[in-house]
């Protein structure tokens, strides 16, 4: 029998029937994408006919059929059927012609490489796998660092046998594939010395939201199996694809350092690979440099464009040469098929104490009792509908996972096995919690929330929650622009399908308090920080940064870029920090830099801080972050907004300080808005309009200061009304004056969604835009559309 071996360069993606999806894709890249900069390690594939030849020459077809029939009839268990079939295959003899062809190809690879007994990866590639509607992710085996003919032949047999692992049998049953119609090809590929470098997974789409303008990259030290199987919590990087063609930009919009506690390396003494602990330095260091992140992202875009669909790829960096390689590419099978016309929003009503935090998978909420399992062999202990809690998962866990209401793991990132399979099964999951198996216990009632952004939370008890569906096909058109209020960058991509007109309010202070956590002056004046514990924590957070202030700039720019990317090129109005002194004091190292105030709400906040010597160097960091956001990352859609600006004189001072820090209004298209939240902003609207490009009405503070009502006072809550005639006069007046002066004017607040009449007031007054929380978007759109229709009828 001839032609049982085909070299990758002689394969194309339409050769799935010959060599399976994995090998066909590798051949496609080798044969067509090499000139475009995609490097794929050399190799060859055995054909599906070779597999059938192996089975037939050992008369195994009937034996396998007998075992599968017995399984179908319930006479033997899945475990028994799989074990018996695998044992048959491993014990079978190689047909001489096939054995000779495999060995000859291996020797030819050795000649090509110039190495005796080169190390190879031996990968399984089923003929029905990696199709657009069935990923078969990890269903068959891969063997790494295989050397010599004897090891290669043994690994090839084990690949054939892995077509009948328990998980593979189960997966084919779920997908409706006939076991006897699926064959297996083996890919034999030159090993990349990523054991000395790093490796990981990347997607040309956001795996959680389906946002299609980013590349998501996971990375860990050593060989890539730990990332794929979720045995480590990897680094995570996200890159904005549309800006990658501009070599002057570095559009990295997320970079988080994973724990990376172990790495897989080559082994000796009969073992091919082993896991060893990483060093403290490796755990604290990013696996990829900025240049490598951008290079991989560009390769992902090239591959996606070639295949014409979102892709799931594996990459490896050779530790000896530093070269980057793509070792696998297959269609992404979950988000690319997600329903785009409807979105669900989950709102927690009440929750118990927070028990755990990890990476969220699924954008939903689930509840149930914990079922803690150490091994998939414990399947008989699992209670249907329970919350599966375990250290990590691999494909053997799939039969259990499909019976769970939610999944929680100690280890793994967003591209780990647990995350990928949970998405395929439509399950809520939280991965990489660190210690779920220590904190939780069997039969404990918990709520698993993945509806609060990229961080997932496990709460004690069964929480109440609401599910609201937004049908994007029913969102009406409006003249008035409806924008979004955004605080949490991690949640921004959840709403990318909403037809919003941009972001009317992006709250900088959310990133500062939740991600940066350090008072800006504790970074610019670190030598003055007296609190020993705060100093230690700041040192830990800023590890790897030559200057501590760079940590603030980099982290703030990165966080805000997540919001800017989702809405580009539509405007994203970023409000400079609007903490009160008591809130600033709660940041690490902040207490010594903040004066005590009787009434922080009308104290040292907003514009007054920015030009003050008591905060000027902190504001400089905010300005540097905005410059990085606009000029380094490329998000020129970012508009700056100044809060709590009491007078035109203050406006001049703030604009002057901004210019000193490279943010000059009008330069490079920079627009600067002012919050309208103080009566003086209305009274002197014409003067403010000379200095700013637009107004954003902050209805909460404007109501508070117009009526003299503390908005946080329960006793005065009945007096706090945006519909009060005095407040309505203020709003109508500033809209009229702003429009007359040629300035844009919008409102950011919840009132229009709660009160249709308030929306009518704004529309009748001629407001340009209304900015609301995403869950209120459809309601506001409807209220505004109705108000506009009534205005036309009049």
**Reading across the β-sheet that carries 43-46, which strands appear in turn?**
5-7, 43-46, 184-190, 120-126, 142-146
The full DSSP string for 227-296 is HHHT-S--EEEEEEGGGTT-TT---EEEEE-----EEEEE--TT-SEEEEEPPHHHHHS-SS-HHHHHHH
Q: CB neighbours (10 Å) of residue 636?
A: 15
Handedness of CA 357, 361, 366, 370 (dihedral sign): negative
Q: Three-state secondary structure along 679-722?
A: HHHHHCHHHHHHHCCEEEEEHHHHHHHHHCCCCCCCCCHHHCCC
User: What gap in Å lies between CA 409 and CA 390, rounded to an integer?
Assistant: 5
CA distance 587 to 717: 29
Instruction: Give yes or no: 676 in active site.
Output: no
Any residues with CB less than 8 A from the CB of 685 and at least 6 apart, and which? Answer: 676, 695, 733, 734, 737, 738, 741
Angle of helix 78-91 versus helix 61-72 axis, rounded to 10: 170
DSSP secondary structure string for all residues of 133-156 = TB--TT-S-EEEEE-HHHHHHHHH
The answer to whether 533 and 522 have CB atoms below 8 angstroms apart is: no
Q: Which residue's entry shows tokens 């003299």?
A: 708
Nearest alpha-carbon partner for 363 in 432, 425, 435, 455: 455
Q: Which of 597, 690, 687, 596 is nearest to 646 (CA)?
A: 687
> Residue 483 pairs with which residues in a beta bridge?
771
Catalytic residue among 179, 417, 567, 783: 417
Beta-strand pair 428-431/406-409: parallel
Q: Which of 556, 504, 560, 507 is nearest to 673 (CA)?
A: 504
Contact call for residues 147 and 117 (beta carbons, < 8 A): yes
Q: Do the Cβ atoms of 428 and 422 come closer than 8 Å? A: yes
Q: How far is CA 285 from the centre of its chain?
A: 20
Q: Report the number of secondary-structure helices (H) and strands (E) in the chain.
A: 29, 30
Angle at 657 between CA 656 and CA 662, to 5 degrees: 95
Cβ neighbour number for residue 539 with a 10 Å cutoff: 11
Radius of gyration of the chain (CA): 30
* C-alpha–C-alpha distance, residues 666 and 673, integer Å: 12
The candidate with the shortest Cα–Cα distance to 370, out of 344, 355, 389, 384, is 389
Question: Which phi and psi angles does 373 have, rounded to 5°?
Answer: -125, 140
718 is catalytic: no
In whole angstroms, what is the distance from residue 105 CA to residue 186 CA? 13
Instruction: Select which of 159, 676, 748, 783 is catalytic.
Output: 748
Q: 487: closest CA among 588, 583, 575? A: 575
Q: How big, in percent rounded to 5, are the helix, strand and coil portions of the chain?
A: 45, 20, 35
The whole-angstrom separation of Cα 77 and Cα 166 is 10
User: CA dist 666 to 312, 626, 663, 672, Å?
Assistant: 42, 15, 9, 8
Strand partners, 21: none
Tokens of 473: 């096909």
Q: Annotated active-site positions, please?
A: 417, 748
């Amino acid at each position: 029998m001839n032609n049982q071996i085909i070299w990758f360069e002689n394969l194309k993606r339409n050769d799935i029937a010959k060599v399976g999806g994995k090998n066909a894709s590798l051949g496609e890249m080798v044969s067509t994408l090499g000139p475009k900069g995609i490097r794929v390690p050399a190799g060859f594939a055995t054909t599906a006919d070779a597999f059938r030849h192996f089975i037939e020459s050992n008369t195994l077809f009937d034996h396998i059929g007998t075992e599968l029939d017995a399984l179908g009839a319930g006479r033997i268990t899945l475990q028994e059927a799989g074990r018996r079939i695998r044992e048959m295959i491993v014990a079978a003899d190689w047909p001489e012609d096939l054995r000779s062809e495999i060995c000859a190809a291996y020797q030819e690879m050795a000649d090509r490489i110039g190495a005796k007994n080169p190390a190879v990866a031996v990968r399984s590639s089923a003929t029905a796998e990696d199709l657009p509607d069935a990923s078969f992710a990890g269903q068959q085996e891969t063997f790494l660092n295989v050397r010599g003919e004897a090891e290669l032949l043994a690994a090839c047999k084990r690949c054939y046998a892995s077509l009948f692992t328990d998980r593979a049998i189960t997966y084919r049953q779920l997908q409706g594939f006939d076991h006897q119609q699926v064959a297996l090809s083996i890919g034999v590929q030159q090993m990349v010395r990523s054991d000395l470098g790093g490796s990981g997974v990347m997607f040309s789409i956001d795996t959680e939201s389906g946002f299609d303008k980013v590349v998501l990259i996971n990375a860990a030290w050593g060989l890539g199996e730990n990332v794929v199987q979720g045995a480590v919590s990897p680094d995570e990087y996200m890159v904005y694809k549309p800006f990658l063609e501009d070599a002057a930009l570095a559009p990295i919009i997320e970079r988080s350092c994973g724990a990376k506690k172990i790495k897989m390396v080559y082994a000796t003494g009969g073992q091919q690979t082993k896991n060893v602990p990483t060093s403290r330095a490796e755990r604290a260091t990013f696996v990829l440099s900025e240049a490598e992140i951008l290079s991989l992202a560009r390769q992902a875009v090239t591959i996606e464009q070639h295949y014409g669909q979102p892709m799931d790829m594996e990459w490896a960096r050779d530790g000896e040469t530093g070269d980057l390689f793509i070792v696998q590419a297959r269609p992404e099978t979950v988000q690319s098929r997600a329903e785009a016309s409807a979105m669900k929003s989950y709102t927690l009503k009440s929750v118990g104490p927070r028990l755990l935090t990890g990476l969220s998978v699924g954008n939903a909420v689930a509840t149930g009792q914990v079922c803690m399992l150490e091994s998939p062999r414990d399947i008989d202990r699992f209670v249907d509908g329970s919350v599966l809690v375990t250290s990590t998962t691999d494909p053997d866990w799939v039969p259990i996972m499909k019976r769970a209401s939610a999944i929680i793991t100690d280890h793994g990132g967003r591209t780990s096995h647990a995350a990928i399979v949970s998405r395929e099964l439509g399950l809520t999951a939280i991965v990489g919690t660190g210690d779920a198996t220590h904190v939780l216990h069997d039969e404990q009632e918990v709520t698993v929330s993945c509806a609060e952004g990229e961080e997932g939370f496990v709460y004690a008890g069964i929480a109440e929650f609401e599910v609201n569906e937004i049908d994007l096909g029913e969102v009406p058109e409006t003249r008035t622009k409806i924008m979004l209020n955004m605080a949490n960058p991690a949640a921004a991509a959840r709403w990318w399908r909403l037809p919003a007109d941009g972001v009317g309010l992006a709250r900088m202070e959310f990133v500062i308090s939740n991600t940066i956590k350090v008072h800006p002056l504790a970074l610019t004046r670190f030598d003055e920080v007296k609190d020993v514990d705060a100093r230690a924590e700041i040192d830990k957070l800023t590890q790897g940064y030559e200057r501590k202030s760079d940590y603030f700039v980099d982290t703030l720019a990165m966080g805000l870029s997540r919001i800017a990317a989702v809405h580009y090129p539509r405007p994203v109005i970023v409000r400079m920090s609007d903490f009160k002194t008591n809130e600033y004091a709660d940041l690490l190292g902040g207490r010594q830099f903040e004066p005590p105030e009787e009434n922080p709400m009308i104290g040292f906040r907003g514009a007054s801080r920015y030009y003050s010597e008591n905060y000027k160097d902190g504001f400089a960091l905010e300005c540097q972050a905005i410059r990085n956001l606009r000029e380094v990352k490329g998000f020129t859609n970012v508009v700056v907004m100044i809060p709590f600006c009491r007078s035109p004189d203050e406006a001049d001072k703030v604009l002057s300080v901004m210019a000193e820090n490279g943010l000059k209004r009008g330069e490079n298209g920079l627009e600067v808005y002012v919050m309208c939240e103080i009566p003086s902003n209305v009274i002197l609207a014409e003067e403010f309009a000379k200095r700013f490009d637009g107004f954003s009405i902050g209805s909460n503070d404007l109501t508070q200061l117009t009526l003299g009502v503390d908005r946080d006072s329960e006793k005065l809550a009945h007096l706090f009304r945006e519909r009060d005639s005095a407040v309505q006069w203020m709003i109508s007046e500033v809209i009229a004056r702003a429009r007359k002066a040629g300035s844009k004017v919008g409102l950011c607040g919840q009132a229009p969604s709660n009160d249709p009449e308030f929306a009518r007031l704004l529309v009748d007054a001629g407001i340009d835009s209304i900015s609301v929380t995403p869950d209120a978007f459809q309601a506001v759109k409807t209220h505004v559309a109705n108000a506009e229709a009534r205005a036309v009828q009049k």
